Amino acid sequence: MVARRALITGVTGQDGSYLAELLLAQGYEVIGVVRRSSTLNFERIAHIQDRLTLVPADLLDEVSLIAAIRDHRPSEVYNLAAQSFVQTSWSQPVLTGETTALGVTRLLDAIRIVDPEIRFYQASSSEMFGKVHEVPQTEVTPFYPRSPYGVAKVYGHWITVNYRESYGLHASSGMLFNHESPRRGLEFVTRKVTHGVARIACGLDDKLALGNLDSQRDWGYAADYVRAMWLMLQQDVPSDYVVATGETHSVRELCEVAFGAAELDWQQHVVVDERFLRPAEVDLLVGDPTKARDTLGWERDVGFARLVEMMVEADLDLVRAQLG
């Protein structure tokens, strides 16, 4: 049988690494787009690097995207690349818009020009719901983004819908709620907390400075969520889906569970630092994954407490290994 071929932008990121693993396990040939940098950052894909074809391209450069698709002719393209850190989107709003919004158009145009039969996945976000109009959020909840990142994702979402309707592309958008793992970037709150717990447990730090402890998120496990991405592209008809656990927890609860996993009392270590507060906050996110369950047959395996414990365990191993 001829191997199916998929191209992933953002393959060096958290989700890209899990999706690449999943597709390799299904027998796909996987093309990973990597952007040029002065040092290699292949940590998350080092264990599978020899099984991937890595190609240089950038969401800021349409010609490079056309070349990647023309040279490798994938049947599925997953657009996971983005400036994905919400806080940075206030200090770099134009870069965020160029990458996270217009980058989607560049990639869709590259597909339209080279081969409109290619199936396309767009990494949309629950940040689009922002100041939420209803609880829980579904595929028809109106958008009210609260950051330049959220605004850029709304653009990326609608341009995906528009290319589907204008050109008949098999383009789907996954409105994914927060998903985490031991591979999460250190600046996101879950990993910041679990890595902070590990450093405190090992005696390297005593305090962990955080921002808004009241905000609530619907946190799931990244390896579960990439399965939903793949399932979307296996459907006969493209569509948009909320992918979430249906449960929400505050940053304060996250601290309780994470410090508790290392037998520490979070109240003795967590301090609030105004530098981590945001100009506009998304107070509460909780998604309704009914459509993903009923149409895709998707369900999550890992719940909140297990996810946080898994991340604490991984960070304890990491910090202890670094200490030697």
Residue type, 59: L
Instruction: Return the residues of window 28-47 that contact ligand NAP according to CB under 6 A.
Output: 35, 37, 41
Q: Which of 17, 79, 96, 126 lies at the binding interface for ligand G4F (CB under 6 A)?
A: 126
249 binds ligand NAP (CB under 6 A): no
Does residue 136 have a cis peptide bond before it, meaning omega lies within 30 degrees of 0? yes
Would you give the DSSP letter of residue 178?
Answer: P
- Mapping DSSP to helix (H, G, I), strand (E, B) and coil, where does residue 136 land? coil
Q: Which of 12, 79, 178, 194 lies at the binding interface for ligand G4F (CB under 6 A)?
A: 178
Nearer to ligand G4F, 52 or 308 (CB): 308
Are the C-beta atoms of 15 and 80 separated by less than 8 Å?
Answer: yes
Q: What is the x/- site pattern for ligand G4F, positions 228-257, by CB under 6 A?
A: -----------------------x------
Q: Which of 86, 107, 228, 292 lies at the binding interface for ligand G4F (CB under 6 A)?
A: 86
149 is catalytic: yes
Least distance to ligand G4F, CB of residue 276, Å: 4
Q: Which of 188, 290, 293, 309 lies at the binding interface for ligand G4F (CB under 6 A)?
A: 188
How far apart are the C-alpha atoms of 197 and 191, rounded to whole Å? 10
108 binds ligand G4F (CB under 6 A): no
- Which residue blocks in the chain are alpha helix, DSSP H? 14-25, 62-72, 88-91, 93-96, 103-114, 148-167, 189-201, 222-233, 251-261, 290-291, 304-323
Nearer to ligand NAP, 245 or 262 (CB): 245
List 284's β-bridge partners, or say none. 216
Nearer to ligand NAP, 185 or 260 (CB): 185
215 in the Ramachandran plot: left (φ > 0), alpha (ψ -120 to 50) or beta? beta
Least distance to ligand NAP, CB of residue 267, Å: 27
**What is the distance of C-alpha 287 from the center of its chain?**
15
Would you give the DSSP letter of residue 202?
Answer: T
212 binds ligand G4F (CB under 6 A): yes
Total residues at interface with ligand G4F (CB under 6 A): 23
Which of the following is catalytic: 121, 149, 163, 241? 149
Q: Read out DSSP for 56-124?
A: E-BTTBHHHHHHHHHHH--SEEEE--S---TTHHHHSHHHHIIIIIIHHHHHHHHHHHH-TTSEEEEEE
Q: Which of 278, 295, 309, 318 lies at the binding interface for ligand G4F (CB under 6 A)?
A: 278
Of 49, 46, 6, nearest in space to 28 by CA: 6
Residue type, 306: R
Using CB atoms, what's the residue nearest to ligand NAP? Answer: 13
315 binds ligand NAP (CB under 6 A): no
Instruction: Return the residues of window 22-61 that contact ligand G4F according to CB under 6 A.
Output: none
Q: Which of 86, 118, 123, 229 lies at the binding interface for ligand NAP (CB under 6 A)?
A: 123
130 in the Ramachandran plot: left (φ > 0), alpha (ψ -120 to 50) or beta? left
96 binds ligand NAP (CB under 6 A): no
Which of the following is catalytic: 21, 29, 127, 253? 127
- The contact set with ligand NAP (CB under 6 A) reads 9-10, 12-16, 35, 37, 41, 58-60, 80-84, 99, 123, 125, 176, 178-179, 185
Residues carrying an active site annotation? 125, 127, 149
- The contact set with ligand G4F (CB under 6 A) reads 84, 86-87, 125-127, 177-178, 187-189, 192, 210-212, 215, 217, 251, 276, 278, 281-282, 285
